[in-house]
Structure 1
Amino acid sequence: MKTKIYHQEDIKQAARVIKQGGLVSFPTETVYGLGADATNSEAVKKVYEAKGRPSDNPLIVHVASKEMVTQFVSGISEKANQLMETFWPGPLTLILPLAEEANLSISMTDQLETAAFRMPNNSLTLSLIRESNLPLVGPSANTSGKPSPTTSTHVFNDLNGKIEAILDDGECEVGIESTVIDMSQPDKPTILRPGAITKEEIEKIIGAVFIDTHLVDDKQAPKSPGMKYKHYSPDADVIIVDGSINDWRHAINYYKTQQKEVAILSSQAIYDELDDYSVFAHYILSENKDVKSAMHHLFSGLRQLDTDLLGHNGVILAEGYDETSENMGYMNRLKKAANQTFFRK
């Protein structure tokens, strides 16, 4: 199969692929998704196969309207409705109780009583959903476990020959996946995956919100992607450095003594202070610890440095942030990429 690149003028053709049970990667404001008809179990099976995704890791359903959600859920609470009205289209995913007769294929093995829904803020993808008149599953369009794709080139590099097409709309604006909030129990709204929309922003709309980002064990069925498996990891080891500039120097020296090539993923401010330290490669996340810029560039940076280190015994030293609510989405992804590993001298 030759993977085609589609653009705005190819929406009808992309929708035809979806309706025929094929796979089309689509752009969103967060990352590129791998789209298939969410009501077609055979099409959803292809998504898992193309990604090499664990079969019990559920998929988010992408819709073009709140009305499309009502076809599949047993009800939308007042608080859930308020979140949709405020943040949709946008980087917020809501987990809602499924209706008994809901015709959705969101997991290969588990018959969950809930499903996750999102209305992405991208005009091309909304047009694709409307043209196909189908809800689309849309996990990140990458090889499972690798850094999520924020450009069509990333998707092509991972999935060329495995999917029918990629709908290209340039670089994603946000750069990390959506915030996921469990609204299946309206009296206990719980964030399961942090993202660009923070706990404080949500609480301004619906009041108190809980956070539960623990990883489930092998016997549990995750309600949300990212709750069970190592994610976002390049082939090179990733180590988080969250201390002073001296900690960065100690880290560089330490890994050089281990005969490793060192790559730096940091703000410009950190890199400038290391100008007397020779490193193999570097990628700048922001000018001066700007978390929005860091989120936007994180996955691209991990992918680029992994490419730079290809064939070398290398390590990526990545800049850690204080785990405030605003920084939680960035740190959630970075800690998973690093398998929770911090440099401690």
Structure 2
Amino acid sequence: MNASLTGKSQSWRGIGILVGMVLLGFCFISSLTLGVADINLSQVYQAIMASSESTDHLIIRTVRLPRSVTATIVGAAVAVAGAIMQGLTRNPLADPGILGINAGAALAVVMAVFLFDLSSLSAGAAFALIGAGITAIVVYFLGAASRGGLTPLNLAIAGAAITALVSSITTGILILSQSTLDQIRFWLAGSVAGRDLELVGQVFPFIAIGLVLAFLLGKQLTALSLGEDIAAGLGQNTAWIKASAGLSVVLLAGGSVAIAGPIGFVGLVVPHLVRFLVGLDYRWILPYAAIAGSIMLLIADILARLVLQPRELPVGLVLPLFGAPFFLYLIRTRIRR
């Protein structure tokens, strides 16, 4: 009987993946067609398959296609990184920002623009990844050096402290240098607009490695999310799992910041929605989170184009409309418990 129920559960989860892929495809196509200039599906197909230089075709190839691809990749990366962080720290309010990774990547880009007058996002992408990695290492060692060792609480406290420090330095640089602020203020708000496929291609290998590593750790993360003692009792090497999961988060969150700037709330909200559908098994949470994260960011980006036509908002300003109410709900739920 149990085997039969398990088989049915696996079947439904597999169907859910297919449904999610269909919804993702619909959102991706909608992202190509909707905006200040409404373009029909036939024009989208011709723009991708043909080489016409008409205005609609240029809009699709040079603006909307890179933007939609960026939103799909970044949404998946941030959502998976958030799911890993919540499992790793056993903290339902965790997201990639808990380790200071977003703040560290942002500081690295701001310093690069301030010191070297970088004018392209492609050059800043490398600095973002380096900043994310350095910040994660510092937080790791601070957490390990705290009383009790590398516990979820120590990790969260170290991450919060480093985030506050790094964010204050970033703010100071932006106050002192108006030119730096002018160059990257749209990026700092979190945006997928104005990106090109060349930039995405440079960063995508890092995100792809992070996703593959995350999916390979699904079983181990499930055990670790139940408690470190339980994971160790099941024969898991918890130190190796934490290090591998941390590397995956750095690659995913750092790569996302490198492309789109700090993107908030996706990594917080999506894992909770996914757990409601598939339970606590990370072998299913992670792929579901990747799909749902892409869908959420695509929808938010579409709204960012349509709300104040003909002007556009950075997608990072639209996401709090989804995330803030859910965040407050989580806090109230935790207080009641």
TM superposition score normalised by structure 1: 0.24
Q: Which structure carries more strand by proportion?
A: 1
Q: Which structure carries more helix by proportion?
A: 2
Larger relative contact order (CA 8 Å, sep ≥ 6): 2
